A and B are shown apart, each in its own frame.
Chain A
Amino acid sequence: MNAFGLLVGVATLVVIGMGFPLVIFGERYFGYLWWPYLLGFGILSVLSSLFIQPDWISALTGIVGATLVWGSTELNEQARRAEAGWFPRKARKIRPPFERIINKWKAPRL
């Protein structure tokens, strides 16, 4: 019996579960314009997993990366939900560096 796959599956569920509050509170206090930073950290995390030798840590680093990439696409969706009044909304956000440039980019949506 090989429990590795099942345990990584459970870990994926836990990590993704932590991604929900990250997106909800991240959007509330920071705003969706932080999406490129989340996307960048996610991609860096996946790439760094390639150089981690223990299988467990490599797999978890990859899953954290995938969750951050997913979170970056969900920030825009969450902003729409907050705008519609389905979630509490905070008008004053902590603005990201290079906000003007990011504003010109289209936020990813899945």
Chain B
Amino acid sequence: MAINPLGLVAALTAFLSIWIGHVAVRKVEAAAARLWIPMTLAALAGTALLLAALRIPGRSVSMACGITGMALLWDVLELQRQARRVRIGHAPANPKNPRHAATLAALHIQTSTSLGGNLELEGKKTSHERQPG
């Protein structure tokens, strides 16, 4: 029986593009001061790969481009979702990032005023610094 490697290629491309995208989204969102820049770059790269997928005649390479392109377009949405996760405290904030610093400052004010304004937060971990579980 002849072996058809297309499924294996699809599986490896899908797994690696999701994995790398998953890690990259967290790191890029934490580092980027302006989120629209990586979002635009990912959207452009994703679209370019999808256009390449349409033009490449070989099925394996066309498929790899199609899957990676779609994963990159998904990562555009994920960058925004990651920013939201940081805002609501479901992902760690980077104090060196101006966007995150503003979120941390807002959280500090909100927590202090909601408890009468006398809460000392120095040295205490906020939900941004704690990992669940």
Please determine whether chains A and B interact with each other in the same assembly.
yes
Q: Please, how many residues of chain B have a CB less than 8 angstroms from a CB on the other chain?
A: 41
**With contacts A4-B63, A8-B66 known, is A53 near B2, CB below 8 A?**
yes
Instruction: List chain B positions with a Cβ less than 8 A from chain A.
Output: 1-12, 14-15, 18-19, 22-23, 50, 53-57, 59, 61-71, 74, 90, 131-133
Interface residues of A in 13-52 (CB under 8 A from B): 13, 16, 46, 48-52
B130 to chain A, nearest CB (A): 9
- Give every chain B residue within 8 A of A66 (Cβ-Cβ): 10-12, 14-15, 18
**With contacts A51-B1, A53-B2 known, is A65 near B11, CB below 8 A?**
yes
CA distance A25 to B22 in the complex (A): 21
**With contacts A49-B11, A66-B14, A66-B15 known, is A2 near B54, CB below 8 A?**
yes
A55 to chain B, nearest CB (A): 5
Whether a CB of chain B sits under 8 angstroms from the CB of A79 is yes
CA distance A9 to B61 in the complex (A): 12
- Give every chain B residue within 8 A of A52 (Cβ-Cβ): 4, 7
Q: Tell me if B55 and A2 are in contact (CB < 8 A).
A: yes
Whether a CB of chain B sits under 8 angstroms from the CB of A94 is no
Pick the 6 closest A-B CB pairs, nearest first: A49-B7, A62-B7, A5-B62, A9-B66, A5-B66, A5-B53
Q: Tell me if A80 and B54 are in contact (CB < 8 A).
A: no
Chain A interface category by residue count: 35 or more
Within 8 Å by CB of A83, from B3, B8, B18, B132, lies B132
- Give every chain B residue within 8 A of A69 (Cβ-Cβ): 11, 15
A46 to chain B, nearest CB (A): 4
The main secondary structure of chain A at its interface with chain B is helix
- Give every chain B residue within 8 A of A8 (Cβ-Cβ): 10, 63, 66-67
Interface residues of A in 58-79 (CB under 8 A from B): 58-63, 65-67, 69-70, 79
Q: Tell me if B14 and A58 are in contact (CB < 8 A).
A: no
Q: Tell me if A110 and B70 are in contact (CB < 8 A).
A: no
- Give every chain A residue within 8 A of B3 (Cβ-Cβ): 50-51
A110 to chain B, nearest CB (A): 6
Q: Tell me if B62 and A46 are in contact (CB < 8 A).
A: no
Whether a CB of chain B sits under 8 angstroms from the CB of A1 is yes
Q: Tell me if B59 and A80 are in contact (CB < 8 A).
A: no
B128 to chain A, nearest CB (A): 13
